[in-house]
Amino acid sequence: MNLNRFSILLLFFTASFSSARKPNVVFILADDLGWADTTLFGHTRLYQTPNIERLAKRGMTFSRAYSASPLCSPTRASILTGQNPARIGLTAPNCHLPPVHLKARPGKSAAPGQKAIQPDSATRLRTDIPTLGKTLQSAGYKTAHFGKWHLGPEPYSPLEQGFEIDIPHWHGPGPKGSFVAPWSYPDFDPNHPKEHIEDRMAEEAVAFIEKNKDSSFFLNYWMFSVHAPFNAKEELIEKYRPLIDPKDPQRSPTYAAMVESMDDAVGTLLDALDRLKIADNTIIIFFSDNGGNMYNVVDDTSPTSNYPLKGGKASQFEGGIRVPMIVAWPGQIKPASRSDALVQSTDFYPTLLNILELDPAEGQIFDGTSILPALKGKEFTRDPIFTYFPHNPPVPDWIPPSISIHHENWKLIREFHQGENEAHRYRLFDLSKDIGEQKNLAAEKPKLVQSLDSKIEAFLQESKAVVPLPNPKFDPAKYQPELEGKNRVGRGKKKPAIKPAKDDGFDPKLQGWKARNAKYTVKEGVVTLTGTAPNPFLGIGAKQFKKETSISLRVKSPAGGPAKISWGNGSPKISTIPFTLKKGEWTELTLTIQPETDLGILRIHLPANKAPVQVDRLELSSGKTTVTSEF
C-alpha cells in the first residue's frame, strides 16, 4: 500500500470515528435567574446578556419553559431524575440541613390560623433513583459537576450521583460567603485576590473540556449566580450605577453586575468550545432553576422584577416558575429559532436519552417527555405539566400549599383545603390572554376547572405524592386571608429575618445578631470579631425557636480555644453547651439543643482572647422554622 492510499484510509477511519462519537452535553443552570432577567424576551432595559444572546443565535429559545418548582433543590432533582418533585418527595430547598430524610412525610401540625398542614419534604436526593449523570457515565461519558449542588452532602453529593469530578464540592444553598474572594469553601482557595467564583467555575469547567476534548463528556455547570448573597465586582457595580432608572422595577446595580458576570461565564464556555473546534459536536442547554428573587433587599430595593409576570421565586405564579431556556445543537436545531412549546425541567433527561439513542433503565419512570420534535421544529403535543409546591413561604404573592397544571394555554392552581369545609380553592387563568394572571376565571368556567382538577388528582394518585392535610385545629377566629400574598415576616422590607432582642446598637449588617464585648467588621460575607472585654459573644432574640433546635455555624479562630452556646428566656436558669474551636482552621459545627420552652436569648460565646474570630454563617432550625444568616 502506498503512502497516499494509507493517508486516505487513515483520514476515512478518523472521520468515521469522529462522526460516530456521541455529542458532548453542556448543561448550564443559572440560579434564581428570572424570565425577564435576560435580553431574550425584551423585558429588561438594564441587564446585559450578550453571550446568552450569542447562544440563542446558535439554537432555539423557548418562551414557555418551566421549572418543576419555584425553588431550587426540587427543580435540580427534577433535572437529574426526569421526575416531578411530587414523586421524589423533595419539595423544599432544605438539603443543606443536618436531618436526613429520604422520603416526604405527612406534616404533623399547623398554626390554628392555617387551613392546611404542609407535608415535610425529603432532605436529600436518594441515590437509588437513576440520574442523568449515572446514565451518561455508564454510556462512556466523562462527567463533571461545577458550582452549586444543594441536593445533599456526602453520601448524596455529585460524586455519588454519577459525576467523576465535583468542584468546589459544596452542598450549601448558595456561594460560600461571597461571590468575590475571599470566600470560605472547604479546601478550595481563590487563585488570586478578589477572584469571582463564577470566573473560577468557568475556568475549572474549561480545564475539564480541554482535558476531555477528544472524548464524549457531560459538563454539568450549575452556576452560583445570581443567588444571594448579593455582591459583585466593584467595577461592574460602578458601571451600572449611572444606568439606574428609579422608575424601572429592575434598578439594582449590584444585581445587574451579578447578571453580567453570569453572562461572562457563559461566554467563557462558548469561547472554549469554539477554540477547541468541538462546538459543532456539543449540545448546550441553558436554563434557570426558578424565577427571579423579589423578596430580598439589595441596594435598597428588591434584587429584580419579573414583570410582566406575576410573582417570583417561591411563588406558584408565573414569575416563580417560567424561566429562560435555550437549547443549541449545531446541524440539528435551526439557529436563532424560537418555540412556544410547553416544556418543563423534567423533560431534559428523556430528551437527551432520545437524542443520544440511550435506553432508560428497566422500570425507570419519567414524568417528563422527549421534546425532540419541538427541537426539530416539528409539531409537538404533550400531556399537561404539573408544579407541586405544598408550602407557603413568606414571600410576595405567596399562596397556600398548592399544585398547578399547565394544559395548552390554561393554568389551574389548586390550593389545598382553602375553601369551605376543607374543600380546595381554585385559580384559573388563560395565559394566552392574561400572562400576568390578573383575572381568575374559575367561577366562570366550572366544567374546565373540574376537568383540569381531575387531571391533578390523577397525577397526585399516580405519583403517590404526600399531600397537605386539613388542619383539625383550624380556628376561624385566627384565620387572616387578607394577609395572603403579603410579606408576612417582612423579607422584602428593610428589616432582618430575625427580630433582634430589644437593645441598642443593632446593626443591619449582622442580620439580627448583636456583638457584645467585642468590636467587629462585616466584609464580603464574613463577620470578624475582636474581643474588647471578657466574654465576647454574638447574641440574638430567638423566642420563635422552640423545643428541639439545631444550630449550625462556621467559624475560624487563629488562637482557638473554648467556646459555648447559652440560652435562656429570662428565668434565672441559663443553659449552656460547651465546644472547642480548632486553632487556625475553619470549623463547621452543628449542635442540637433542647429548650424547655423556647430559646429566649441565644448567645454564642467566643474564645476570650484578643485574636480576631471570623464567622461567615449561622443557621437556626426548628421544625419548619429555619433562618440562615450569611453575612
**Per-residue cell: 520:** 467587629
Residue appearing with cell numbers 462558548 = 270
Reply yes or no on whether the pLDDT at 464 is more than 90. yes
Of 203-207, 528-532, 622-626, the one with minimum mean pLDDT is: 622-626
What is the percentage of the chain residues whose pLDDT exceeds 90?
Answer: 67
Signed CA dihedral, 396, 623, 148, 192: sign only:
positive
Of 164-168, 494-498, 508-512, the one with minimum mean pLDDT is: 494-498
- Cβ atoms < 10 Å from Cβ of 201: 24
Task: Give residue 575's pLDDT.
Answer: 79
CA angle 546–548–553, rounded 5-degree value: 100
Task: Give residue 524's pLDDT.
Answer: 64
**Which architecture, in CATH terms, is 508-629?**
Sandwich (2.60)
Task: Give residue 569's pLDDT.
Answer: 62
Task: Give residue 14's pLDDT.
Answer: 40
Mean pLDDT of 522-545: 81
Checking DSSP bridges between strand 337-339 and strand 322-328, what pairing results, if any? unpaired
Task: Give residue 3's pLDDT.
Answer: 45
Distance of alpha carbon 308 from alpha carbon 373, whole angstroms: 29
CA angle 432–437–443, rounded 5-degree value: 95
Q: Give which of 130, 127, 224 is closest to 171, Cα–Cα.
A: 224
Per-residue model confidence as pLDDT tens digits over 287-325: 999 999 998 889 989 999 999 999 999 999 999 999 999
Per-residue model confidence as pLDDT tens digits over 144-197: 999 999 999 999 999 999 999 999 999 998 898 899 999 889 889 999 999 999
Task: Give residue 624's pLDDT.
Answer: 63
CATH (residue range 18-386): 3.40.720.10
Task: Give residue 577's pLDDT.
Answer: 81
The yes-or-no answer to whether 18-386 and 508-629 have a common fold is: no
Reply yes or no on whether the pLDDT at 514 is more than 50. yes
Per-residue model confidence as pLDDT tens digits over 235-269: 999 999 999 999 999 999 999 999 999 999 999 99
Question: Which runs of E-coded beta strand occur in 320-435?
Answer: 322-328, 337-339, 343-344, 385-389, 402-407, 410-415, 425-430
Task: Give residue 497's pLDDT.
Answer: 40
Give 455's pLDDT tier (boundaries 50, 70, 90).
very high
What is the percentage of the chain residues whose pLDDT exceeds 70?
Answer: 91
Helix (H) or strand (E) holding 88: helix 85-88
3-state secondary structure of 287: strand
Task: Give residue 15's pLDDT.
Answer: 41
Reply yes or no on whether the pLDDT at 492 is more than 60. no
3-state secondary structure of 6: helix
**What are the Cα distances from residue 66, in Å, to 80, 170, 279, 340, 469?**
15, 26, 26, 12, 27
Q: Is residue 360 exposed (0-12), middle (13-18) or buried (19+ Cβ within 10 Å)?
A: middle
Task: Give residue 504's pLDDT.
Answer: 37
Task: Give residue 604's pLDDT.
Answer: 87
CA angle 201–226–25, rounded 5-degree value: 50
Q: Give which of 270, 292, 259 is closest to 72, Cα–Cα.
A: 292
Per-residue model confidence as pLDDT tens digits over 38-96: 999 999 999 999 999 999 999 999 999 999 999 999 999 999 999 999 999 999 999 99
pTM for the predicted model, two decimal places: 0.78
Task: Give residue 494's pLDDT.
Answer: 38
Signed CA dihedral, 324, 84, 619, 580: sign only:
negative
Domain boundary assignment for the chain: 18-386, 508-629
